[in-house]
């Protein structure tokens, strides 16, 4: 079970300020994990930090609830929260992505924290729906949270799963959508039109809550509403892949941020100042 530590221990306090500091702790750890490689999935943590800190602090119950990280490269944000969740040793974080490490950069069966293999985009919501159905069949109180990305909405399977979950009334299923408008080839909005996201999900029979994904108070309220909904629910978090790290150069590639030299020192200093 979760150790009660200062920041992610906000599950107990629920204080917005603690959750915000937890989000910056996730960012700080992500910079440390990515720095030795010189590049990596840092933008995904910068965008989803408040969303995931809110989840882990306010809603997620390790050992009871389940977490699916559908875009497998987002596993870094789950690793970053792993120590407080009691799911991995903090020392292990330094092995992120290195040869032979269990902390592979794209989540696999050996990944602590997440419950299924992600990475082949569009599959995670189906897995989450299956876990939610299994909980229902077993009469379990567990809830299933699925982290998805907006680019992933391009995959048809997401909508198969959306129909399936709504048809079966899986109200123990909550999607956290990191809508950071970023995918490999550029902004999602420049590649295809996934909007209107909330209206799509509502028309599929879901409760959809569209919020500023860096506003912790709004996220906490949205999570509460999603959990109270009598049907599957999605929290659409509008985010940026450069949020919370002002030292990043203008125009950094949010999908795969390069970070080296003095920039690492600046990033660590900026985040440490906010966390401490």
Partner 1 sequence: MINQAPYPTVLKPYGRALVELARRREDVVCLSGDLTRQTEVDLFQEEFPDRFIHAAMAEANMISVAGALARRGFIPFVHTFGVFATRRPFDQIVNCVAYPNLPVRIVGFMPGVSSPGGPSHQAIDDVALMRVLPNMTVLDLADATEVAQAVEAIVDVAGPVYLRLKRGETPVIFDDSHRLSLDRAHVVLEGDDVAIFACGMMLPAALSAAQVLAGAGVSASVVNVAVIKPLDRASVVAVATRARAVVSAENHSIIGGLGSALAEVLAEEALARPLRRVGLADTFAQGAQNASWLFTTYGLATQDVVDASWEALGRDLPAPTAPTLTSPAGEYAPV
* Residue 120 touching partner 1 (CB under 8 A): yes
Nearest to 150 by CA among 214, 117, 195: 195
* Residue 271 touching partner 1 (CB under 8 A): no
Question: Interface with partner 1 by CB under 8 A: which range of 123-131, 189-197, 236-244, 258-266?
Answer: 123-131
Give 200 or 258: the residue with its C-beta nearer to partner 1: 200
Rounded Cα distance between 232 and 159, Å, is 13
- What are the b/e assignments for 54-90, b being 16+ CB within 10 Å? bbbbbbbebeebbbbbbbbbbbbbbbbbbbbbebbee
Give 83 or 119: the residue with its C-beta nearer to partner 1: 119
The residue count of the chain comes to: 276
* Residue 164 touching partner 1 (CB under 8 A): yes
Give 45 or 162: the residue with its C-beta nearer to partner 1: 162
Nearest to 174 by CA among 194, 199, 147, 152: 147
Out of 126, 180, 182, 239, name the contact with partner 1 by CB under 8 A: 126
Out of 119, 151, 244, 254, name the contact with partner 1 by CB under 8 A: 119
Rounded Cα distance between 19 and 7, Å, is 7
Out of 22, 47, 48, 127, name the contact with partner 1 by CB under 8 A: 127
213 token code pair? 């994904």
CB of 124 to partner 1, least distance (A): 8
Name residues whose C-beta falls within 8 Å of residue 118's C-beta, 6 or more positions apart in sequence: 68, 69, 70, 71, 72, 74, 75, 106, 107, 124
Out of 102, 157, 191, 200, name the contact with partner 1 by CB under 8 A: 157
**How big is the site for partner 1, counted in residues (CB under 8 A)?**
27
Name residues whose C-beta falls within 8 Å of residue 274's C-beta, 6 or more positions apart in sequence: 21, 24
**Angle (CA) 217 219 220, round 5°:** 65
* Residue 128 touching partner 1 (CB under 8 A): yes
Out of 9, 97, 112, 130, name the contact with partner 1 by CB under 8 A: 130
**Angle (CA) 111 241 235, round 5°:** 70
Question: Interface with partner 1 by CB under 8 A: which range of 13-21, 124-132, 183-191, 206-214?
Answer: 124-132
* Residue 115 touching partner 1 (CB under 8 A): yes
* Residue 156 touching partner 1 (CB under 8 A): yes
Give 126 or 241: the residue with its C-beta nearer to partner 1: 126
* Residue 172 touching partner 1 (CB under 8 A): no
Sole residue written with tokens 């992610």: 8
Give 18 or 115: the residue with its C-beta nearer to partner 1: 115
Interface residues toward partner 1, by CB under 8 A = 108-109, 115-117, 119-120, 122-123, 126-131, 133-135, 137-138, 156-157, 160-161, 163-164, 167
């Amino acid at each position: 079970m979760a150790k009660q530590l200062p920041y992610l221990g906000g599950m107990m306090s629920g204080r917005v300020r603690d959750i915000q500091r937890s989000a910056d702790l996730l960012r700080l750890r992500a910079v440390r994990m990515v720095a030795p490689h010189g590049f990596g999935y840092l933008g995904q943590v910068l965008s989803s930090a408040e969303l995931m800190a809110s989840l882990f602090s306010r809603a997620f119950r390790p050992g009871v609830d389940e977490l699916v990280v559908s875009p497998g490269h987002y596993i870094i944000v789950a690793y970053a929260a792993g120590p407080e969740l009691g799911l991995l040793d903090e020392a292990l974080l330094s092995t992120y992505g290195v040869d032979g490490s269990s902390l592979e950069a794209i989540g696999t069966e050996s990944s602590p924290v997440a419950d299924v293999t992600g990475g082949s985009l569009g599959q995670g919501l189906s897995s989450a729906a299956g876990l939610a159905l299994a909980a229902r069949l077993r009469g379990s109180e567990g809830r299933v949270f699925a982290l998805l990305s907006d680019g992933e909405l391009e995959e048809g399977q997401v909508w198969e799963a959306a129909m399936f979950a709504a048809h079966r009334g899986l109200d123990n299923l909550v999607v956290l959508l990191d809508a950071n408008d970023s995918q490999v080839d550029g902004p999602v909005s420049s590649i295809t039109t996934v909007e209107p996201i909330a209206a799509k999900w509502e028309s599929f029979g879901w409760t959809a809550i569209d919020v500023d994904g860096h506003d912790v108070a709004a996220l906490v309220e949205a999570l509460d509403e999603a959990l109270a909904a009598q049907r599957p629910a999605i929290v659409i978090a509008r985010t940026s892949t450069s949020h919370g790290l002002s030292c990043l150069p203008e125009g950094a590639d949010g999908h795969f941020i390069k970070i080296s030299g003095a920039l690492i020192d600046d990033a660590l200093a900026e985040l440490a100042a906010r966390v401490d």
